[in-house]
Structure 1
Amino acid sequence: MKNTLACPLWLYKVLPFLRWWPMVDKTTTKADLIAGLTGAMIVLPQGVAFATIAGLPPEYGLYAAMVPAIMGAMFGSSWHLVSGPTTAISIAVFASVSPFAEPGSAHYISLVLTLTFLAGLFQLIMGLARMGALVNFISHTVVIGFTAGAAVLIAGSQIKHFLGLQMPRGLPFYEILHQVYAQFSSINPYVTAVGAVTLVSGIVLKKLMPKMYMILAMVIGSVVAIVINQMAGGPDVTQIKTVGALAAHLPPLTHPDLSLSAIQQVLFPALIVTMLALTEAVSISRAIAVKSEQRIDGNQEFIGQGLSNIFGSFFSSYPSSGSFNRSGVNYAAGAKTPLAAVYSSVFLVVILMAVASLAAYLPTAAMAGILFLVAYGLIDFHHIHSILHTSRQETAILMVTLIGTLIDLEKGIFFGIILSLMLYLYRTSRPAVIAVVPDSEPGSYHYVPAENKPECPQMKILRMQGSVFFGAVNHVQQVLQDVDESNPDQKHVLLASSGMNFIDIAGAEMLVQEARRRKKIGGGLYFYRMQNSVRDLLIKGNYMRDIGEENLFSAKTHPIDTIYPRLDSEICRKCQARIFAPCNISLPNGELRK
């Protein structure tokens, strides 16, 4: 792989394609061309279907797969994400704009273009404001669950085409399964044969010709459909449907209606579409990145999606986002750089201008068979197996995200994010507080887990492993209070606090309260190896006045040398544990051991 161009950092942010452009060579170009051609063929039937769902003329679904794909590829961060029309965005557009205009009318199209422009503008502003960090709250498990759920939805949406059944658009997954059961006797054997041959061909060719298997499988499926039609008496008998001939012209230049009335009508829907599109795009790019091992820049992805929709609104495009189908196909087909998405748009234009009529020979059942393969490849069985066998909490997140995605694509990932954040807050609100004792090795400054070892009857030593913030205050305070409640003689507590890397005002107030309480009962609260950031906050907030600088002990010191004289000599006289070095020499009052 070639090195990136030696450019100033700011230039990479303005022109992000400079990072991967040096990778382009004959090898990557060949792979990207194949992936681009495959993606162009895949989007033909999808674009028409998505535009119909959005209430727009069929060609608008293809327009949304041209300019937005180019802008998203050149200015986004993902090397495999392909922007274009999606099911969720299409549904959102129809639901948002249809109350204001007749679907398919000129006024309806004008409002949709305004919606597209505003959504892109909001996305661009969020990217420039560096709000891409929001995607860091989408955990790896959520991405895997969302990917698996979306893959099942992709396969589910193709079942009717694969089996030749009649089903309304937009059915939830469970209803699709119910319809298959109810219409089982109506399965079309001719259509199913075309889909099955395509699927089997794809499986075999993927091993033999991994770069070309999708295109070759679709060709085989098309040929099989032609043969079946000739043998069985024609399409009227077999009911084998094809994509159909498409209009051959480029997307016309347009401009969004930026009048006050139009903006007022679609402003709030634009905000909804913005978040919906960004969630989809970033989730999909991260899902693909799990396989490609590429790092995704959320801010740059926001910018890329914003520019794709802003420019798309001037080229007859309705709102686009990352397409799971096209992105999955793009990666599976061996794309090496974002130029694959650019080539896909170019091939799509070529197909429309020159050979649009050939789409009439491409069976929808063959497309379904290919998308079954794509969906299967998107499911990360390895990581799912690992999650199921390692963590109950992560398993819960995975299942909630997966099942939620099957019920509602967008709500599924939101449910997963919310649950993962709730579990994270629960874990951080209960930082580990472990009882430890001094390491018995001579000269050691370390502390080891008590684990049934004898402990000092007057001083409890605890290791803090986590931040002490407002959510964790009650838990930590309860642990500290439990010490002297379980053993009233343990009035002194030493906190090995190198793992306490953050503390807020609530945490500081709690420590001060605990220090005061222990002083009143004749003990003390001490800290060993406190982080500088924590110490600085305590000093700035004047909390150290109650805690006491003398009660803070730095690394490679023995706090017991200072604390030991404060212990009760009579208790020490009877103690048999003697876990500290001074215990074996003298009592706290200075009396030598006999």
Structure 2
Amino acid sequence: MRITALQPAWSFLLPFTHWLPNIDKRDLRADLLAALTGAIVVLPQGVAFATIAGMPPEYGLYAGMVPAIIAALFGSSKHLVSGPTTAASVVLFSALSVYATPGSADYITLALTLTFMVGVFELALGLARMGALVNFISHSVIIGFTAGAAVLISAKQLKHFFGVEMDSGGHLHEILFNFSRHFPEINPWVTGIALITLLSGIAFKRWLPRIPYMIAAMLTGTLVSLLLDTWFGPSITHIPTVGALPATLPPLSAPELSFQNVKDLAPTALAVTLFALTEAVSIGRSIAARGGYRINGNQEFIGQGLSNIAGAFFSGYVATGSFNRSGLNYQAGARTPLAAIFAALLLMVIVLLVAPYAAYLPKAAMAGILFLVAWGLIDFKEISHVLKSSKRESAVLLVTLLSAMFLELEFAIFAGVLLSLVLYLERVSKPNIVTRVPDHRLYKHAFSSDPDLPECKQLKIIRIDGSLFFGSVNHLQERFDRIRANHPEKKHLAIIASGINFVDLQGGHALVEEAQRRKDAGGKLYLINVKERLWDSLERGGDLEVIGDRNIFQSKNAAIHAIYHKLDKSICAGCEHHIFQECRSAPAR
């Protein structure tokens, strides 16, 4: 009993104890192969991101070491890989360059301080169980964000794929415009390497699935590049490579939490926290959806927070979920978080032993691999399904997709989530209201919404499906007004409330107002099949006193029987339809 009671606490504090004991040899092999690919890919990316962030190149590699290990151990995703990203690097540069010269010692200190603050904010949100925020990210947002990011990843690799010197920063249209200006400068040797890498990757994946196609493709591209340089000479081919990297492990560091630094960096830290968490969890959810499992939002918040706190003490700047490396990790066949841990450890080994040999790895080969990754991230089948199935979800998907391609990547998530919420609120603000009448063709004269069926001349019966809250009150009142205007002779109104789950003060007031109007006109308002939660809400608001306990029924039969005795029998005498069974059993007049 004691072990069972402690299990949830251990799972929360040490989540890796849940999956680590279950790893077998096949998992180890798959994770190790995926890690090898990921460790190689992070080399040029880490250097590039550090340059964007205004940090020394080696800091981009440091951010992919210890933070990646901590995030994998304390997160919940099997495939999410944390490290430096384009968005985090750009925000870091724009925020810190105001206070210090990029690349200087003061600048590095501010970057470490900002990283620590972001980690604290992320950890606090995780411990506060705010992971439910990810529930507002719909599936359409994930699909659109993933596809948009994949297109952006490909666009940013155009310069390396075609061997042109151009600025690959900015939005998609800016990248494409810059590329069009440099189109005459395309290097056919570089393009050939990229295409050979891309096509060999496709070939290995299709015809030799047992061989890790990404590693095989990179080796193929590198070998062809070396052969071309040998045969024609580097002065002819001009094939750029990643270049030699510093062979050092991350040194210990510490943030400088002075009052002035905390004051200056607090707004930026909060902004970075929000988009970094959204980005990480969105990536984690998108990969998890493809892998057939779920992630724990709270645990991801904690994992990301601890990773950045640790990164601040191991010379790493802000790290979050990486689309490139997470997608690559999944495509390469990773099975557990151990792949991300292996990748970080292999990166350390590579930096120490192999970093100088990165001079032989062509950037074009890396671009070809990332083109493969980007293509695999676009779920064409699901996109087609959404576009055919729902206009609302299609709008969410397209807004997210276009925002990711033409606006800031992190803004795309917020735009998609905001539109999802707006459409949701618009939908729930108009609860479905249908007319119901007994249908003699159905078993026990069950109620139907067939518009051809006759209605009672004195009683209008409707069913409301949806919650009655401040946002839906106007729609409800307009429907009440329309019923009174179109059917003034029907002084009694019965509401089947089985579809009403919640009512707030304004919703209850709308029912009370309608009950009073019905009473003034000589009729009544009735509620049928009232749920316990609805009853309690009406009772707390004092609405039951006005509506009247005797006008609330728990079954339709009891309601019709009681309401029938309140109808004007002189009007019933001239009715030929006999809607209710009580009408047929009434004595002839």
TM-score, length-scaled by structure 2: 0.97
Alignment root-mean-square deviation, CA: 1.6
Q: How does 1:77-116 map to 2 (within 5 A)?
A: 77-116=76-115
1:345-424 paired onto structure 2 within 5 Å: 345-407=344-406, 408-424=408-424
Mapped contact 1:584–1:593 kept (Cα < 8 A): no
Identify the residue that residue 589 of structure 1 maps to in structure 2: none
User: 2:352 and 2:109 mapped to 1: Cα distance?
Assistant: 25
Task: Show the 5 A alignment for 1:441-520.
Answer: 444=444, 446-520=446-520
Residues 311-330 of structure 1 aligned to structure 2 (within 5 Å): 311-330=310-329
Distance 1:556 1:585, change over 3 A: closer
Distance 1:365 1:443, change over 3 A: closer
Paired residue type of 2:370? L
* Cα offset, 1:262, TM superposition: 2.1
TM-superposed deviation, 1:396? 0.8
Using the size of structure 1 for normalisation, the TM-score is 0.96
Distance in structure 2 (CA, Å) of the matches to 1:384 and 1:555 = 45
Name the aligned partner's letter for residue 440 of structure 1: H
- In structure 1, the residue matched to 2:119 is 120
- Counterpart Cα distance in 1 of 2:68 and 2:175: 30
Match of 2:162 in 1: 163
1:174-323 matches, cutoff 5 A: 174-207=173-206, 208-209=208-209, 212-234=212-234, 236-323=235-322
Distance in 1 of aligned mates of 2:18 and 2:110: 37
Q: Which range moves more in the overlay, 572-581 or 323-332?
A: 572-581
Q: Aligned-pair distance for 1:279?
A: 1.1
1:541, distance to aligned residue in structure 2 (A) = 2.1
**1:34, 1:211 within 8 Å by CA — same for their partners in 2?**
no
Give a deviation string over 1:32-68, Cα, whole Å, max 9, x none: 0011111101100000000000000000000000011
Distance 2:479 2:445 in 1: 24
Shift of 1:444: 3.2
- CA offset digits 1:108-155 (Å, max 9, x no partner): 101100000000001000100111111111111111111110011111
Task: State whether structure 2 residue 574 is matched by structure 1 residue 593.
Answer: no
User: Alignment partner of 2:444: what SS?
Assistant: coil
How far apart, in 1, do the equivalents of 2:168 and 2:368 lie? 19
Distance 1:272 1:210 in 2: 44
* CA apart distance, 1:567: 1.4
SS at match of 1:149: helix
Q: 2:547 and 2:213 mapped to 1: Cα distance?
A: 70
Secondary structure of the 1:566 match is coil
Cα distance between partner residues in 1 of 2:458 and 2:478? 19
Q: Does the CA contact (< 8 Å) of 2:168 and 2:175 recur in 1?
A: no
Q: Is 1:25 the counterpart of 2:20 in the alignment?
A: no
Paired AA for residue 394 in structure 2: T
Contact 1:32-1:343 within 8 A present in 2 as well: yes
Query: CA contact under 8 A between 1:32 and 1:337: conserved in structure 2?
Result: yes
- Residue 361 of structure 1 aligns with an amino acid whose one-letter code is Y
Aligned residue identity for 1:66: M
CA deviations on 1:203-257 (whole Å, 9 max, x unpaired) are 11112226600000000000111122223222x3222111111111110011111
Q: 1:322 to 1:367 in 2, by over 3 A?
A: same
AA aligned opposite 1:145: G
**Letter paired with 2:74:** F
* Alignment-mate amino acid for residue 588 of structure 2: R
Q: Is the 8 A contact 2:164 2:186 kept in 1?
A: yes
CA contact (8 A) 1:5 1:22 kept: no
Q: CA deviation at 1:176?
A: 1.8
State the alpha-carbon separation in 1 of the partners of residues 299 and 444 from structure 2: 49
In the alignment, the residues of structure 2 paired with residue 495 and residue 228 of structure 1 have an alpha-carbon distance, to the nearest angstrom, of: 80
Deviations 1:408-441 (A, max 9, x none): 2111111111111000000000000011112436
Q: 1:66 — aligned with what?
A: 65
**2:434 counterpart residue number:** 434
- The 2-side partners of 1:386 and 1:174 are apart by 27
Local SS of the residue matching 1:444? helix
Distance 1:6-1:149 versus aligned 2 partners, 3 A rule:
farther
SS in 2 for 1:102: coil
Residues 1:138 and 1:226: Cα distance change in structure 2 (over 3 Å):
same
| 1:167–1:127 Cα change, 3 Å | same
Q: 2:320 and 2:211 mapped to 1: Cα distance?
A: 26
Contact kept in structure 2, 1:462 and 1:495, CA below 8 Å: yes
Label 1:377 to 1:537 Cα distance change in 2 as closer, same or farther (>3 A): same
Alpha-carbon distance, 1:168 to partner: 1.2
Distance 2:465 2:218 in 1: 57
Match in the other structure for 1:333:
332
Deviations 1:565-593 (A, max 9, x none): 2112232222222211011222xxxxx22
Whole-angstrom distance in 2 between the partners of 1:300 and 1:445: 53
Query: For the Cα contact (< 8 Å) 1:445–1:556, is it kept in 2?
Result: no
Q: Is the 8 A contact 1:254 1:314 kept in 2?
A: yes
Asked whether the 8 Å contact 2:167–2:175 carries over to 1, the reply is no
Q: Percent identity?
A: 52
8 Å Cα contact 1:43-1:326 kept in structure 2: yes
Q: Distance in 2 between matches of 1:194 and 1:369?
A: 8
Question: 1:147–1:378: 8 Å Cα contact kept in structure 2?
Answer: yes
Gaps of 5+ in 1: 587-591
How big is each residue's C-alpha offset from its partner over 1:389-417, in whole Å with a ceiling of 9 and x where there is no partner? 01111111111100011122111111111
The amino acid across from 1:12 in the alignment is S
Partner of 1:532: 532
Letter matched to residue 593 of structure 1: A
1:134 partnered with 2:133: yes
> Does the CA contact (< 8 Å) of 1:477 and 1:510 recur in 2?
yes
Matches of 2:222 and 2:171 in 1, distance apart?
Answer: 29
SS in 1 for 2:493: strand
- Take 2:288 and 2:320, find their aligned partners in 1: how far apart are those partners? 17
Give secondary structure in 2 for the equivalent of 1:357: helix
State the distance in 2 between where 1:534 and 1:560 align.
21
- Secondary structure of the 2:558 match is coil
Residues 421 and 211 (structure 1), Cα distance of their counterparts in 2 relative to 1, 3 Å cut: farther
Which amino acid letter does the alignment assign opposite residue 7 of structure 2?
Answer: P
Query: 1:252 corresponds to which letter in structure 2?
Result: P
Instruction: Show the counterpart of 1:569.
Output: 569
C-alpha contact 1:445 1:558 (8 A) present in aligned 2:
no
Deviation at residue 261 of structure 1 after TM alignment: 2.2
- Give the secondary-structure state (helix, strand or coil) at the position aligned to 1:8: helix
Structure 2 residues not aligned, in runs of 5+: none
Asked if the contact 1:172–1:406 (Cα under 8 Å) also holds between the matched residues in 2, the reply is yes
Q: Report the Cα offset of residue 494 of structure 1.
A: 1.1
Letter in 2 for 1:141: S
- After superposition, the C-alpha distances for 1:452-497 in whole angstroms (9 at most, x for unaligned) are 2111121111111100000000101111221121111111111111
Kept after mapping to 1: 8 A contact 2:169/2:175: no
Q: Number of paired residues?
A: 585
Counterpart of 2:77 in 1: which secondary structure? coil
Deviation at 1:96, TM superposition (A): 0.8
CA contact under 8 A between 1:49 and 1:61: conserved in structure 2? Answer: yes
CA distance in 1, matches of 2:531, 2:73: 44
| 1:414–1:517 distance in 2 versus 1, CA, 3 Å | same
